[in-house]
Amino acid sequence: MDQSASQWIKKQAQELGFLSCGISQAAFLETEAPRLEQWLKNGHHGAMGYMERHFDKRLDPRKLVPGAQSVISLLFNYYTSKTQKDAEAPKISKYAYGTDYHFVLKQKLKTFFQLMQKQFGAIEGRVFVDSAPVMDKAWAVKSGLGWLGKNTNVIAPREGSFFFICEIITDLELDYDAPMTDHCGTCTACIDACPTEALTPYQIDGSKCISYFTIELKEALPDSIKGKMDNWMFGCDVCQTVCPWNRFSKSHNEPQFEPHPDLLEMRAQDWEELTQETFKTVFKSSAVKRTKFEGLKRNISFLKHV
């Protein structure tokens, strides 16, 4: 295991703007396997059928990258203290304020891996940003970047949890980091605050999560959640906002994550009267496009008629 190579990678990650970097050995995720199986059996993935696919690949990175030796986990900050001006306006999760993180981070990771190839020679690998069967949180925890909180988000002691997780899986053998201890203690702020009671300690019923309803669910929203949406039209930040560790969050310095000028200014009435044209302008390169114009209108209309 090459410690100097690992140090070079961590220094490079910092220079490229990543919040932190940890490295773990590419191996079968033994602890996570039965948990994932039970989570799926319980139907906690709801209509997210894709979660059932590629079960073996989710648990073993060597099936994604043949000959893989290392999983390099990286965190990238997206926190901002900026908020929507109108307190009555339907809310959007902070991570979706700016340019879609898939595009931004994929480009940074490609640059990163090219630098690695230049430094270390003929190495193989792939980069991942939340769009492949990779258990991002499990790898971030294994590599010591934080612990899995009771809200099922990775929490870092000096940064909180408002960050994206991404990976480089490579056949380069490196020096590996150790996991850190859990620091949630007796706190249950996230569980107590969840509007739809989707959380139990260290587990989330995805089929009850507001993010699931506003983004993943394509059919009509169920009557059972009327009055429980806390005015969210895309995503939900409740379990992070109430987490005491997020008092350490600092605003990101990534220009591409800055919100469209109109986004924070739009009032409740503007959202209710949202047109296709405004949607295309405000969310030109945003992750909100995932729910499409019709989906966002559905969510806004549902909030209005509770």
Catalytically annotated residues = 130
Among 23, 17, 6, CA closest to 144: 23
d(CA 290, CA 32): 28
Instruction: Evaluate whether 268 touches 86 at the Cβ level (below 8 Å).
Output: yes
| DSSP-based three-state secondary structure for 142 | helix
d(CA 195, CA 86): 21
d(CA 23, CA 72): 5
Instruction: Quote the distance between the C-alpha of residue 210 and its chain's center.
Output: 14
Q: What are phi and psi for residue 244, nearest 5 degrees?
A: -60, -25
Among 6, 7, 56, CA closest to 28: 56
CA dihedral 39, 43, 44, 46 (to 10 degrees): 140
Token pair recorded at residue 263:
């986004």
d(CA 41, CA 37): 6
d(CA 162, CA 119): 31
d(CA 133, CA 57): 6
